[in-house]
C-alpha cells in the first residue's frame, strides 16, 4: 500500500537507481556494486522524501548537506542524483563512470560535480566532515537567526561497516554527541559484510550501546527495503535533541547471486549476472535508459527544493530590512569573504626575542575578534600551541556563541571536522597540535587538498629545539612531508611581519589547506617583510658583493643571520634569504626567483630533514636522523647546528668550491 513516503513508482525508482549504478560499474569494469543494490532504498527514502536541495541552484546556501562517507558507493550517489534531477549530471556521465576526465570519478569529488559537498573515499573521514558541516550550520544559525530563522538545514551522512571500523569514526561521533548536533542524521548501511569477509571476523560491537554512550539517538530499521520505515525514522530523527544514527539492516548485493557475500563488494558483475539481477528485480529497461515515471517520482524532491529557496530568499529580505549590517555580513560569508586589515596591528610592538608560537597566537586574536565565524579547534594543546581565542569560552551543546571548540586529543578528527566546517561555507576553522603529531593529521590534510578546502592547521614545537621531550616529539621529516602535499601551502614564519603575512594568506586562500609551523623556543627577531611573505621567499639581509646565498626558515633565519655575520669576517659575503613558504617561492616567475638567488652557490639551514632542499641548495644543512632528549641548546650543539659549527661547515665548503672553481651555479 502506498503512503506519504511511497508511490506506485517507488519500486521502479529504487530499481532504476540500482541498475543505473550496476550498469555504470559493469561498463567501467570497475566499482562496488554491492552497496548500490543494497542501499538504493536508503538513498531513495532520503532524497525523495527529506533532502532539501534546489537543483536549479546547487549553491543554494540553506540546502541540506549530504555526505557519502562510504565513498566507494559513488555509483549509488551518481544514479540517485541523476534520477533526482541534479542539473550537473547526465546519463552520459554515468556511461563515463570512472573514466579519464569524467565528472563521475571512482569516489565522489566535490571539485568535479556540483552537488557533491565533500570528496570522500578514505573511510571514516566523511563522517567527521559531516560533523564539521553540522557544526557550521549550528554556528551560523546562532550568529544570524537573531531576527528571523535564516539558517535552518540538516546534515545527512550515509556510512557503512568500513567507516565504523576506522578510529576517526569514534573520534568524530564523540565530538558530535558532546556538542549536541541534533541536526546531524547519519544512516548506517548495516550489511555485516566487508571486502575480505564478514564484519564479525574482525569486529564485535553493540552499535546501539556505542552510539548511546556517545550521547546519540539510535533508531533501527530492520529491513532497508522498507522505504516508508526509513522515511519515518528520518522524520523522527528531525525531532531529536541529539544527533541521530539510523541503522538500516540491508543486504549487500541484493538481487544478485552473490547477495550477502563479500564477492559483490568490490568487483563488477559479469554480463550474465547483470541479466540475472534484471530478471530478479523484474526490471526490463535497457542500460542507461531512465523511465519517465522514475523521474516523475522525484517531483516532491524538486518541489521541496524550490520552495526552500523561495523561503530563504524571503527570510534574507526580512533580515536585510531588520538588520542591514547582519545581512551584509551573511552575504559576505556566503561568498566565503572574511576580513583582514593591517590597521589592527598598527600599535603592536613585538618583543626583540620571542617564540613564533606566541607571536602568531597574539596576531590571531585580532583576526578572530573580527571574524566571529572563524572557529578554533582545540586538540587539548592550546596552552602550548597558543591557538585559542582568549576572549571566548568553548562551545557547548547549549551555547554556540563562542569560537573555541574542544575536540579532545583527536588530531585526525580535528583536521577532518575542520574540512567539513570549511566545506559548508560561511565558516572557517583553524586547528593546532605539535609538529610531530602532523602525521595524525596528514590523511585529512591530503583530502582537504584534493577537495580544495582552506582548513588551516598550526603546528608548534617545530624542531629539535623543543629539547627534553626527545625524539618522539622532535619533528624531523614532518616539514618535508607537509611540503610534499600538492595543492597545499606550508609556512614557517620567522618574525612578526611574516606571521601577519601568513594570516593574510590564510584569509585570502580559498582553494587549499594551509599548514603553519611555529617555534617553542624564543629567538632573536629580524625585521622581516609582510609584503614579501606571499612571494614565498625574499632577501632579509644582504652584504655587498655577495658570493653565496643562505636560505633559512623560521627560527633558523636568526641562526642564518648570525652565520652570515661570522662568514663576513672571513670575507665570505652572503645574501640571507628568509623562505617562509617554499611552494609559493616556486610559484613565482623565474625572473623573481633569479632576482633573489642569482647564480650564487646556495646553502639552506633548517632543523629538519634536508630532503626537499636539494632542489634549490648546493649545501643543505639540517638533521636526517631522529633527535635526542636534552636541553635545547645541548641538542643543537650535539648535532653541530649552532652558529659556530654551521659557519665552519660553510667556510670549508666554500674554500673547496674556490679550489674547484665552482663558485657559480650551473
In degrees and rounded to multiples of 5, residue 108 shows phi and psi of -60, 135
**Residues 39/159, Cβ–Cβ less than 8 Å:** no
Strand partners for 188: 159, 247
**Residue 288: CB atoms within 10 Å:** 15
* DSSP symbols for 370-433: H-TTEEEEE-S-HHHH--S-TT--B-BTTB--SSEEE--S-HHHHHHHHHHHHHHSS-EEEEEE
- CA terminus-to-terminus distance, the chain: 81
Query: 571: helix, coil or strand?
Result: coil
CA 617, CA 650: separation in Å to the nearest integer? 12
User: Pairing state of beta strands 574-578 and 538-542?
Assistant: antiparallel
**Residues 538/578, Cβ–Cβ less than 8 Å:** yes
CA 460, CA 474: separation in Å to the nearest integer? 11
595: which residues sit within 8 A by CB, 6+ positions away? none
Output the nine-digit C-alpha cell for 464. 629539535
Please identify which of the residues 247, 411, 415, 498 carries the catalytic annotation. 411
Q: Is 594 a catalytic residue?
A: no
CA 49, CA 324: separation in Å to the nearest integer? 35
User: Could you give the angle at which helices 167-179 and 411-424 cross, rounded to 10 degrees?
Assistant: 60
∠ CA 600-605-607, nearest 5°, is: 165
**Residue 90: CB atoms within 10 Å:** 13
Just list the catalytic residues.
Answer: 411
Amino acid at each position: 500500500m502506498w503512503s506519504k513516503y511511497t508511490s506506485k513508482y517507488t519500486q521502479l525508482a529504487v530499481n532504476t537507481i540500482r541498475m543505473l549504478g550496476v550498469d555504470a560499474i559493469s561498463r567501467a569494469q570497475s566499482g562496488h556494486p554491492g552497496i548500490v543494490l543494497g542501499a538504493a532504498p536508503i538513498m531513495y527514502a532520503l532524497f525523495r522524501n527529506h533532502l532539501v536541495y534546489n537543483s536549479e541552484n546547487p549553491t543554494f546556501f540553506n540546502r541540506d548537506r549530504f555526505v557519502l562517507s562510504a565513498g566507494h558507493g559513488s555509483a549509488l550517489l551518481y544514479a540517485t542524483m541523476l534520477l533526482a534531477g541534479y542539473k550537473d549530471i547526465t546519463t552520459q556521465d554515468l556511461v563515463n563512470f570512472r573514466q579519464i576526465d569524467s565528472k563521475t570519478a571512482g569516489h565522489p569529488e566535490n571539485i568535479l560535480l556540483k552537488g557533491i559537498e565533500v570528496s570522500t573515499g578514505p573511510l571514516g573521514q566523511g563522517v567527521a566532515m559531516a560533523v564539521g558541516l553540522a557544526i557550521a550550520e549550528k554556528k551560523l544559525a546562532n550568529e544570524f537567526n537573531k531576527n528571523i530563522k535564516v539558517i535552518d538545514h540538516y546534515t545527512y551522512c550515509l556510512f557503512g561497516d568500513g567507516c565504523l571500523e576506522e578510529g576517526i569514526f569514534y573520534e568524530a561521533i564523540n565530538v558530535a554527541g558532546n556538542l549536541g548536533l541534533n541536526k546531524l542524521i547519519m544512516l548506517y548501511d548495516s550489511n555485516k559484510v566487508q571486502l575480505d569477509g564478514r564484519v564479525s571476523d574482525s569486529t564485535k560491537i553493540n552499535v546501539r550501546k556505542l552510539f548511546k554512550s556517545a550521547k546519540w539517538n539510535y533508531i533501527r530499521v530492520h529491513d532497508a527495503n522498507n522505504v516508508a520505515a526509513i522515511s519515518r525514522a528520518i522524520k523522527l530523527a528531525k525531532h531529536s535533541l541529539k544527533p541521530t544514527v539510523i541503522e538500516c539492516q540491508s543486504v549487500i548485493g541484493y538481487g544478485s547471486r552473490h547477495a550477502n557475500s563479500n564477492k559483490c563488494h568490490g568487483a563488477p558483475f559479469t554480463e550474465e549476472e547483470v541479466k540475472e539481477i534484471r530478471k530478479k528485480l523484474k526490471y526490463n529497461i535497457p542500460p542507461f535508459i531512465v523511465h519517465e515515471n522514475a523521474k516523475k517520482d522525484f517531483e516532491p524532491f524538486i518541489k521541496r527544493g524550490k520552495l526552500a529557496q523561495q523561503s530563504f530568499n524571503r527570510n534574507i529580505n526580512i533580515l536585510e530590512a531588520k538588520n542591514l549590517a547582519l545581512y551584509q555580513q551573511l552575504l559576505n560569508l556566503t561568498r566565503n569573504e572574511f576580513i583582514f586589515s593591517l590597521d589592527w596591528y598598527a600599535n603592536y610592538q613585538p618583543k626583540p626575542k620571542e617564540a613564533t608560537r606566541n607571536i602568531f597566537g597574539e596576531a590571531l586574536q585580532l583576526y578572530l575578534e573580527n571574524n566571529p565565524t572563524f572557529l578554533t579547534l582545540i586538540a587539548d594543546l592550546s596552552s602550548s600551541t597558543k591557538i585559542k581565542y582568549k576572549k571566548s569560552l568553548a562551545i557547548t551543546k547549549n551555547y554556540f556563541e563562542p569560537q573555541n571548540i574542544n575536540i579532545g586529543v583527536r588530531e585526525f578528527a580535528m583536521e577532518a571536522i575542520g574540512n567539513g566546517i570549511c566545506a559548508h561555507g560561511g565558516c572557517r576553522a583553524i586547528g593546532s597540535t605539535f609538529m610531530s603529531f602532523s602525521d595524525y593529521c596528514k590523511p585529512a590534510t591530503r583530502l582537504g587538498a584534493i577537495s580544495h578546502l582552506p582548513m588551516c592547521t598550526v603546528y608548534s614545537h617545530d624542531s629539535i629545539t623543543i629539547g627534553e621531550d626527545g625524539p618522539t616529539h622532535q619533528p624531523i621529516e614532518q616539514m618535508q612531508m607537509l611540503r610534499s602535499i600538492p595543492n597545499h601551502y606550508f609556512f614557517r614564519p620567522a618574525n612578526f611581519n611574516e606571521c601577519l603575512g601568513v594570516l593574510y594568506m590564510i584569509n585570502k586562500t580559498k582553494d587549499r589547506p594551509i599548514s603553519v609551523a611555529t617555534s617553542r623556543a624564543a629567538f632573536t627577531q629580524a625585521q622581516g617583510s609582510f609584503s614579501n611573505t606571499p612571494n614565498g621567499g625574499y632577501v632579509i639581509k644582504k652584504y655587498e658583493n655577495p658570493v653565496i646565498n643562505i636560505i633559512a626558515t623560521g627560527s633558523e633565519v636568526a641562526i642564518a643571520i648570525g652565520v652570515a655575520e661570522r662568514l663576513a669576517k672571513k670575507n665570505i659575503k652572503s645574501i640571507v634569504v628568509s623562505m617562509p613558504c617554499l611552494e609559493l617561492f616556486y610559484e613565482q616567475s623565474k625572473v623573481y626567483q633569479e632576482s633573489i638567488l642569482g647564480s650564487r652557490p646556495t646553502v639552506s639551514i633548517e632543523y629538519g630533514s634536508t630532503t626537499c632542499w636539494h632542489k634549490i641548495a648546493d649545501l643543505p644543512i639540517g638533521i636526517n636522523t631522529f633527535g635526542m632528549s636534552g636541553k635545547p641548546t645541548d641538542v643543537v650543539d650535539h648535532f653541530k647546528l649552532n652558529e659556530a659549527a654551521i659557519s665552519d661547515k660553510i667556510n670549508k665548503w666554500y674554500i673547496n668550491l674556490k679550489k674547484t672553481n665552482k663558485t657559480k651555479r650551473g
